Amino acid sequence: MKISDIYRNKKTVFSCEVFPPKPGAKKDGILETIKDLKKISPDFVSVTYGAGGETKDGTIEMTIQIKNTYGIEPLMHLTCLDTKKEEIDTILSRISKGGIENILSLRGDMLADRDFKSVGSDFSYAYDLVAHIKSHTNEFCLGVAGYPEGHPEAYSLEKDIKHLKQKSQAGGSFVISQMFFNNELFYMYLDKIREMGIKVPVSAGIMPVFKAKLLSKMIKLSHATLPADLVSIVEKYRDNDTEMEKAGIEFAVEQIEDLIKHGVEGIHLFTMNRASLAKKISSYSGLR
């Protein structure tokens, strides 16, 4: 099923994100995660694409397995930086044969040991990937990434939203947001993108902070602002993982309850492959 149809038919679309095993690592753990996620019936499950395409085969195989073995609608992440058109076309034909209908079209980030000038990429931005796929086929429903606090490289939030509009006009039919911890910033972002004429549905990206030590990595990746109440929770439970997880779940649940009250079109949970977190959060917040 195309994810755009799910948004059309559901009030609050609930999705979960997982990552595939590293190349050569066992798949058992992630398959258990998928089985457990199935019990809470997410509307779709997205599978990340390792930086620089390092998990390409794992991402493709897992996405196909989620659809054909577990009967859950999958969304495959696909990045285009450092990639040739022929490689993208080969991937599209592989996933088409596997029955995949949905792709999150992303630029990706350059690995630390490469530089933009030396690689022979056919794509500069996610927009190029969306346009390339759409110029070939209408078989896939394409999602794109949005950044409530602006993408870290963007000159301004307004410029970044203009680029989001470009992606949506080229064929991006829904948006999944970067993680944020302050709902007010998300509401302001939604107002701005609607003012600028972007009409496609937007899912709010929610990251449960279940370990204090992970937070700095999350912030480094997302550049999300930390509200004072979350900072004090993290300081309080820095050395107590059990209490940190409880408090992190509570924080995420409150965020989601408020988002639902405000009528958001979707909640996208970064599960970090922890189905137990997704189960608790979806049940406590009334999503499931």
Residues that bind ligand FAD (CB under 6 A): 48-49, 51, 77, 79, 106-109, 125-127, 145, 151, 153-154, 159-160, 163, 167, 176, 178, 205
Exposed e or buried b per residue across 161-173, where buried means at least 16 C-beta atoms within 10 angstroms of its C-beta: bebbbbbbebbbb
By beta-carbon proximity to ligand FAD, the closer residue of 14 and 49 is 49
Q: Which of 17, 101, 149, 265 is catalytic?
A: 17
By beta-carbon proximity to ligand FAD, the closer residue of 149 and 244 is 149
Minimum Å distance from CB 107 to ligand FAD?
3
Minimum Å distance from CB 178 to ligand FAD?
4
DSSP symbols for the chain? --HHHHHHH-SSEEEEEE-PPPTTS-SHHHHHHHHHHHTT--SEEEE---GGGTTHHHHHHHHHHHHHTT---EEEEEE-TT--HHHHHHHHHHHHHTT--EEEEE-----TT--TTTS--S-SSHHHHHHHHHHH-S-SEEEEEE-TT--TT-S-HHHHHHHHHHHHHHTEEEEEEEE-S-HHHHHHHHHHHHHTT--S-EEEEE-----HHHHHHHHHHH-PPPPHHHHHHHHHTTT-HHHHHHHHHHHHHHHHHHHHHTT-SEEEEE-TT-HHHHHHHHHHTT--
Minimum Å distance from CB 121 to ligand FAD?
12
Minimum Å distance from CB 239 to ligand FAD?
30
By beta-carbon proximity to ligand FAD, the closer residue of 64 and 145 is 145
By beta-carbon proximity to ligand FAD, the closer residue of 58 and 248 is 58
By beta-carbon proximity to ligand FAD, the closer residue of 48 and 65 is 48
Minimum Å distance from CB 287 to ligand FAD?
18
Identify whether 184 is a catalytic site residue.
no
By beta-carbon proximity to ligand FAD, the closer residue of 179 and 215 is 179
Minimum Å distance from CB 205 to ligand FAD?
5
d(CA 211, CA 218): 11
Residues annotated as part of the active site = 17
